[in-house]
Structure 1
Amino acid sequence: MISSGQFSVYLALKQLGFKGVHSEEWGDQPEVLDYFHEHMVKPSIDAGEVIVGDPDMRVIANYGYTAVFDIVPAIYYEQMLNQFPDCKFILTSRDSESWFESWTSMTQIVSTPLHLAGKLFRLPALTKGSDYIRWLFAYLNQDASILTASWPTDVTNRETAIPMYEAHNKRVREIIPPEKLLEYHPREGWEPLCKFMELDPCPTTPFPHSNSRLSMRVQAWSAFLLLLEAALVLFFGVSLIRKFFSPKKKQTKAKAL
């Protein structure tokens, strides 16, 4: 089950019993992040050109996930279809301007704390996450200079991004068989999802609408602040240990000749 959609769809499918993974959870499966970094992100940065590659999506399925969301299925839906011909796809629908504003806001929310954390703490997972965001910027803008430039703060180009978004949706409709594709918006609620997935009965609980931008802002900055707090505690802890437990040098008074 593949979705290139919003966080609400992710929450809904989890409630329907699918084991889903969103890219913000890749930290829980470092092997997945390592795979994409090694096969697509790092080769792109090293070569100074956007390399999409042809990844083996079984690296995700091997963890038992039955639904994948966000950028991976949005870019690699053809590979998904070839490797998992029985899977279904959800294309969340929205107008181009609305998508662009959401994308711009989301990338700015995530990229700044992630990049700062990567620079300050030099942890491999943070550095790889920062590289991944840079790679996405370069891919969306089709601008390889982003891969090697100093960290971009505002790189989303409307004139490039919107046509690419529209071409992507057109290509999805051409590639994915109609019986395997659901064009959907969360405001439509449970019924289209249940019908598409052949699930009965449908939940009677409210559909899980989520403010994904607010959620990701809180998560991104919370993670950064927690790392900063841990670093400060470690620094002051080591300083105190050195102060109270280091051997004291004997003080000798200078003797007058």
Structure 2
Amino acid sequence: MMKVIGAGLPRTGTTSMKAALERLGFTPCYHMVEVMTHPGHVDHWLEATAGKVRTREDWDRVFEDGYQAEVDWPASFYWRELADAYPEAKVILTVRDPHKWDPSIRMLLSGENRPAPSDEMPEQIRQLFTTMQRMRPALDQMGRSLFGPDWTFGNDPGDEDLVVAAFNRHSETVKQSIPADRLLVFDVREGWEPLCAFLGVDVPAGEPFPHLNDAESMRQAFERMKAGDMSGFPLGRPGG
């Protein structure tokens, strides 16, 4: 059953949050990596895009493999629907400086440094491209919700002011929609203490909070992909 609902946008520490939540026992935690490693999951998100996932029973089928938490798109796009479907779950809005988020999300959504698929690529990598291509209708819907009806995946989202405004608008919508006692607004730089206090669990003794998949590691992972090397994926994958 879903216990933790991530409402943050991609590139707000979602890969770190996945690792942290799983370390705290909220496992498995759904993340875009689940789509990338389970291509059949695309069908769930295309159904959600078409408005066919509405009830708790529908969402239970999406998360039928026992997911207790979710972060990152595609799941976090449906934070409002999930909060309604699982009223006992807590909600976490991951945030960061929106001016620093701007170049990070721009690199992700515009496809900067992303290699083009080719017949010379290993089969595993070509399958990854096929999976993400099937996700395009869902990803386009998510991007348009932020940047307007004319945006499509692969295009630059616009100038910095537009991107920052989109980030702030999303954050304010979540804050105004979820009761304060159910919501944690969280920057992963804050570490274990506020997260554990909110979730009612102990702080892991002697363990640093995970900080994974920063922008530089993503660039390096794409460079490895260009050479046909999948090391670093899925943790170095786009969308973390």
TM exceeding 0.5: yes
The answer for unaligned runs of 5 or more in structure 1 is 44-51, 229-257
Structure 1 window deviating more from structure 2 (82-91 vs 70-79): it is 70-79
Amino acid aligned to 1:24: V
Shift of 1:20: 1.0
Whichever of the two has the greater Rg, that structure is 1
Amino acid aligned to 2:24: L
Give secondary structure in 2 for the equivalent of 1:140: helix
TM-score (norm 2): 0.72
| Residue equivalent to 1:250 | none
Number of residue-to-residue matches in the alignment: 212
Cα contact 2:109–2:154 (8 A) shared by 1: no
RMSD: 3.2
In structure 2, relative to structure 1, the CA distance for the partners of 1:221 and 1:22 (3 Å cut) is farther
Give secondary structure in 1 for the equivalent of 2:228: helix
Whether 2:75 is the aligned partner of 1:69: answer no
The answer for unaligned runs of 5 or more in structure 2 is 121-125, 231-240
| Residue equivalent to 1:27 | 36
Cα contact 1:20–1:65 (8 A) shared by 2: yes
1:159 and 1:54 map into 2 onto residues whose CA distance is 34
Query: Alpha-carbon deviations, 1:227-253, whole Å to 9, x = none?
Result: 99xxxxxxxxxxxxxxxxxxxxxxxxx
Give secondary structure in 1 for the equivalent of 2:74: helix
In structure 2, relative to structure 1, the CA distance for the partners of 1:212 and 1:34 (3 Å cut) is farther
Shift of 1:191: 1.1
Q: 1:11 aligns with which of 3, 19, 25?
A: 19
2:65 and 2:148 map into 1 onto residues whose CA distance is 32
Shift of 1:220: 4.5
Cα contact 2:113–2:223 (8 A) shared by 1: no
2:163 and 2:178 map into 1 onto residues whose CA distance is 22
Percent of aligned pairs sharing the same letter: 25
| Residue equivalent to 1:180 | 182
1:226 and 1:176 map into 2 onto residues whose CA distance is 44
1:97 and 1:166 map into 2 onto residues whose CA distance is 10
Matches within 5 A, 1:107-256: 107-108=109-110, 112-113=114-115, 116-117=116-117, 124-130=130-136, 132-144=138-150, 146-147=151-152, 152-223=154-225, 225-226=227-228
Query: Alpha-carbon deviations, 1:190-239, whole Å to 9, x = none?
Result: 111111111125332111112432343344554564399xxxxxxxxxxx
Amino acid aligned to 1:16: L
Higher helix share: 1
TM-score (norm 1): 0.68
Give secondary structure in 2 for the equivalent of 1:90: strand
Amino acid aligned to 2:145: Y
| Residue equivalent to 1:47 | none
Give secondary structure in 2 for the equivalent of 1:182: strand
| Residue equivalent to 1:85 | 87
| Residue equivalent to 1:36 | 45
Higher relative contact order (CA 8 A, sep 6+): 2
Cα contact 2:30–2:75 (8 A) shared by 1: no
Matches within 5 A, 1:47-58: 56-58=58-60
